[in-house]
Amino acid sequence: MPETLAAVLLRRRRLVDAVRLTPPVRRSAWQWLRHPLTTPAGLAALQAELIQRGFLLSASLYRHCAGLSPFALTGFGRTLLDLLDTESGTKAELVPLFRGFPESVPGNTETFYIDRMFARMLQEPEQPCVLCGETSTVQAVSPCAHLVCRSCWDGSDFSACPICLRQLDPDDPFLEPSNDEVASRADAARLQLLTLAPADAAASMVTDLLARRAPLSVVDRADLKALLVDPSWLPDVIPVRETRAVALAALLPDHPELIDDLVETATDALRLLYALMEADPGLRTPPVRRRSLPRAIRRMVLARLNRMPVGSLVEDLLRHAHAWKRIGENLHPFEFASTYPVAALAFAVVRGTTLDSSSPAGRAVLSEATRHPEVRLEDGRLVLSTFAGRVESAFAYGRPGLALELLRQRPGDLVRRLVQLARALPVDTRGSLVEALATAVSDVSPVVLTAALGQVRTPPGDLRLFFPRGGTTRIWTAVDEREPLPSELAATLSGVLTNELLRRATALPRVRRAFLDEELSRLVAPGSERSSSSTLRRMTRGSVQPIGDDDLLRLFLHWVEPAGQRVDLDLAVAVFDNEWAFVGLCDPTRLRFDQDAMVHSGNLTSGRGPRGATEYVDLDLRALRRVGGRYVLPVVFSFTNVSFEALERGFIGLLREPSELFDPAAVEDRFELTGTAKALLPFGIDLQNKELRWYDVNLRAAGFGNSLARHAGQVALMAATLEEVHGAGDRVSLWELCCWHAAARTGEVVVRCADGSVVGYLRGESEGVGAFARRLTARLEPDRYWDLDAASRADFVAVITGDIDPKAGAEVYALHPRLLDPGSVHLIDAPHLLSTLAPDARARLTTA
């Protein structure tokens, strides 16, 4: 169900849209007398509830609440708390099988299983209990009708049928009240600030999303649809074509004139059609079902295709030939062949249609073909040689020089194939590659530049990692048999790419001082987000976060199955040693590992709405180290072979040192379960280095009965490859990106080191921007020592945690903003740091 605009503002920026959240209240005098509620009392109660959830009111929001009537404040507070609870998962009532988890989880899973099987197979109505012999304690539970003995199974501890582990009716007498839970105690250091949203908050957020130079994630696309209500918010250029399609689909019904400005190529039109059908505009997967398009939309799209040059039109259609063949069944291009002959000609080439000059459509297409010499007729069918085909042929026939000359025409493709060209070209012609790259980089997206930079400086390793295009984030590995690039050539190519990014950063507004956090080196610079899961912490795959001295981590899984279909998801955790040898497992078949090292809350085999089902796993990190564990890998599997996209809702997350069963203030991150995947590896825990690495990959799993024991080898291989690739440190980090910004925009940079010390770097009078950036990035000997107060005098700040007090108006990136007030500073996200390094807005990208 789509989120409201207020929910999006709250989740993304911690901005509270008070106008939309405050209900209109009309109360008569006698109602005020009957309910003597005061605004100060209600405000105090609201603040207490927010603190329990890990939030505080900013000064501006507090003043707004103080000015509300008691009843308006009540409505506002209830709506706000409801949105926060929905976001964190608290509203979902995350109750596990054993309500007394972890204390009440059985110590012997086998005995628990045997007792269940005996009761299921041997228990008869009106007969003594087969386990204890009691005669009056056996009754059927609803709706599964299994015979349950109240003496053997504790109704105050179980939340489901102890025999089949499926949900029971809430009013079933077996479910006795459980002990009251301990109230949450939010850690003051983890509190976040809620701020009153300015009037232009939605427009500002739309501008930021549309300016991104990388494809948006699924959640970002959904947010854009919810936020974009005014076409005047559209900028002159939307650089990423997928984003362009989402924006146009949201506005097209009321503003059809936008199609000429926002649809430049046939692929743009295909993305638009996918977005209108609520499919993926990245074209990775076809629509689940092709929706019928209004006749006006079909004519509008065909008219736009008809105005495109034939060569580029046919090439675009051939690039996604299968998708266009399917969409052609909706567009019916031959029905309009006389009106839109160019579009019909392109479809004839893609379909390989045998043209009949006796039909009106055939005559129209053949007549149009005579006007285009690049199109030829062979055996009654039209054919055309494409640019991509010529490039591939050049590589296939050992002519990389020809491929280079062709790719000069398309700078983006040249940069993407940079490593392939560098390996294929003869030594004496590599200078031409450097020259071509130096010319091409000025028109290329910064996301493509940083991706190429990471590839150039990454030496061949034992394994290669691939993320193929597809509906889920599946990965696969292969032995790396490539020859390494010559170090001199790699350094030269890296220098060209880095210098271009520094040149663009130099054109940004100057700042007096920058303050950077050295721990940013643990985060990977943002790239394409199209396949990323929806998470609370917006980190790029491969990023690392320290877990510090935490001794207890709690994983949680929650799902609600669709009506009429049973869904059984399983949360499981595997532990491996330094060499990735299997150490232990905790899953529904083994509820405890090494006593309390890992404890599973019990297997729920259904998740009927509205309550759904929840599973937890507690991890004692000290105990896991004691048994020789190094890597901890949690995985969620669909046991019943139902894809995540079928769920009414579903997510997996992590709590750090929770003070209750589910403590919203302790939520470290949460991954939404979406897409066609059936197994998700969200992150891995390195017990030796005390850090979490974000994996966010889906594993291939098919058939009924998926489990971690069955896929342990595959999971270990994927995680080991991810650790090798991301742990090498060759990809561009957020630290490098921030250093480029700082070196190009100021001569005074303050750095907070990993050990807590604060040092300063000053750019010398004769020192170039490139040399200063290299000195910063490598963290060489600083020029002086500083104190933390330097952050309060910085205009550009990039930190992990917002535990500083920056000056008003400062530009601030913080992974954990905490109590930073968006009303006082300009909070930015990681993609914004790349978006500002875009090429000249007038230079349209060939692809994005």
CB within 8 A of 476, min separation 6: which ones? 466, 468
At residue 772 the predicted structure's pLDDT band, cuts being 50, 70 and 90, is very high
Query: Based on the domain organization, do 737 and 705 belong to the same domain?
Result: no
Within a domain: residue 671?
yes
User: Is residue 8 exposed (0-12), middle (13-18) or buried (19+ Cβ within 10 Å)?
Assistant: buried
* Number of Cβ within a 10 Å radius of residue 285: 16
- The 10s digit of each residue's pLDDT in 667-680 is 888 888 877 788 88
Average pLDDT, the chain: 85
Same domain, 665 and 721: yes
Token pair of 152 as six digits: 């053997």
* One domain for residues 550 and 640: yes
Contact 719, 695 (CB under 8 A): yes
Residue 49: C-alpha distances to residues 195, 678, 787 (Å): 16, 36, 36
- Order the strands of the 758-762 sheet from edge to edge: 784-786, 758-762, 748-752, 514-517, 796-801, 811-816, 826-828
Q: What is the mean pLDDT of residues 309-317?
A: 88
H helical segments located in 150-265: 201-210, 218-227, 241-251, 259-262
**What amino acid occupies position 306?**
N
Answer whether residue 451 is part of any domain.
Answer: no
For residue 704, being part of any structural domain is answered with: yes
| Residue 430 CB partners (closer than 8 Å, separation 6+) | 422, 489
pLDDT digits (tens, 9 = 90+) for 622-676: 999 999 999 999 999 999 989 888 898 888 989 888 878 888 778 888 888 877 7
Q: Tokens 């230079």 identify what position?
A: 843
Under a CB-based contact definition with an 8 Å cutoff, are residues 174 and 150 in contact? yes
d(CA 59, CA 72): 19
Tens-digit pLDDT profile for residues 337-373: 889 999 999 998 888 888 888 888 888 888 888 888 8
Instruction: Report the DSSP beta bridge partners of residue 381.
Output: 378
Burial profile 17-42: b = 16 or more Cβ within 10 angstroms, e = fewer: bbeebbeeeeeeeeeeeeeeeebeeb
394 φ/ψ angles, rounded to the nearest 5 degrees: -60, -45
842 has a pLDDT exceeding 50: no
Contact between residue 821 and residue 214 where contact means Cβ atoms under 8 Å apart: no
Asked if 400 contacts 428 with a C-beta cutoff of 8 angstroms, the reply is no
Rounded to 10 degrees, what is the CA torsion of 81, 85, 87, 93? Answer: -160
In one-letter notation, the amino acid at residue 332 is H
Range of the domain at 776: 514-523+732-835
pLDDT reported for residue 183: 45
Neighbours of 451 (CB within 10 A): 21
Residue 434 clears pLDDT 60, i.e. is over it: yes
Distance of alpha carbon 155 from alpha carbon 179, whole angstroms:
12
566 vs 475: CA distance, rounded Å: 28
Last residue in a domain, options 727, 754, 782: 727
Same domain, 569 and 691: yes
Residue 842 inside a domain? The answer is no
Co-location of 603 and 714 in the same domain:
yes
Place of tokens 């921030």: 738
Residue 551, in any domain of the structure: yes
Residues 567, 698, single domain; the answer is yes
The predicted model scores a pTM of: 0.77
Contact in structure between 625 and 576 (CB atoms under 8 Å)? no
Do residues 551 and 629 both lie within one domain? yes
Q: Which residues pair with 585 in a beta bridge?
A: 574
Neighbours of 676 (CB within 10 A): 15
Residue closest to 832 by CA, chosen among 6, 12, 190? 12
* 160 three-state secondary structure: strand
Note the pLDDT tens digit of each residue in 537-550. 677 888 888 887 77
Tokens of 248: 């146009």
Which residue type is seen at 192?
A: Q
Of 218, 221, 194, 184, give the one whose Cα is nearest residue 21: 194
Helix, strand, or coil (residue 119) = helix
Q: Is the pLDDT of residue 30 over 50?
A: no
* Domain count of the fold of the chain: 3
Asked if 772 contacts 761 with a C-beta cutoff of 8 angstroms, the reply is yes
Mean pLDDT of 709-721: 85
**What's the burial of 542, exposed, middle or buried (CB within 10 Å: 0-12/13-18/19+)?**
buried
Residue 532, pLDDT score: 61
HSE of 481, CA atoms in CB hemisphere, 13 A: 2
Q: What gap in Å lies between CA 517 and CA 523, rounded to an integer?
A: 11
Last residue of a domain, one of 45, 72, 88: 88
CATH of residue 670's domain is 2.60.60.30
Mean pLDDT check: name the lowest of 417-426, 675-684, 735-744.
675-684
* Torsion sign across C-alpha atoms 685, 690, 692, 693: negative
Please report whether residue 131 resides in a domain. Answer: no
Helix (H) or strand (E) holding 571: strand 569-576
- Residues 631 and 592: their CA atoms lie apart, in Å, by 18
Contact 184, 54 (CB under 8 A): no
Amino acid identity at 206: V
Is 70 exceeded by the pLDDT of residue 841?
A: no
DSSP for 445-471, please give it: -HHHHHHHHHHHT----SEEEE--SSS
Same domain, 692 and 628: yes
Amino acid at 760: G
User: Tokens representing 744?
Assistant: 């190009």
Alpha-carbon torsion angle 787, 791, 792, 795, nearest 10 = 140
Same domain membership, residue 739 and residue 723 = no
Residue that terminates a domain, selected from 88, 117, 136: 88
pLDDT at position 479 over 80: no
pLDDT band at 475 (very low <50, low <70, confident <90, very high): low
Residue 846 has pLDDT above 60, yes or no: no
Residue 196 has pLDDT above 70, yes or no: yes
- Output the six-digit token pair for 14: 């911690």
Predicted confidence (pLDDT) per residue in 266-292, tens digit: 999 999 999 988 888 888 777 866 677
Q: Are 187 and 52 in contact (CB under 8 A)?
A: no
Residue 307: both structure tokens together: 């105005």
In DSSP notation, 628-686 reads: T--EEEEEEEETT---GGGSSEEEEEEEES-SSSS-GGGEEEEEE--SS-SEEEEEEEE
Q: Residues with Cβ < 8 Å from 772, sequence gap 6 or more? A: 743, 747, 761, 763, 764
Domain co-membership, 608 together with 713 = yes
State yes or no: cis peptide before 546, omega within 30 of 0: no
State residue 759's pLDDT score: 94
CA angle, 603 as apex, 598 and 608 as ends, to 5°?
Answer: 140
CA distance 662 to 743: 44
Same domain flag for 698 and 740 = no
Query: Are 795 and 712 in a shared domain?
Result: no
Q: Which DSSP symbol is given to 745? A: H
Q: What is the pLDDT of residue 179?
A: 54
* Residue 530 pLDDT level (bands cut at 50, 70, 90): low
Q: What's the rounded mean pLDDT across residues 822-838?
A: 88
Please give the pLDDT value at position 822: 83
Does the residue 107 lie in any domain? no
CA dist 423 to 99, 432, 484, 490, 836, Å?
Answer: 60, 13, 8, 11, 32
Order across the sheet with 598-600: list the strands: 592-593, 598-600, 613-620, 552-560, 649-656, 667-672
- Whether 280 maps to a domain, the answer reads no
What is the CB-side half-sphere exposure of residue 364 using CA atoms within 13 A?
Answer: 19
- Burial environment of residue 198 by CB neighbours within 10 A (0 to 12, 13 to 18, 19 or more): middle
Return the closest-CA partner of residue 185 out of 658, 618, 556.
Answer: 658
What pairing do the DSSP bridges indicate for beta strands 192-196 and 15-16?
A: parallel
pLDDT at 570: 94
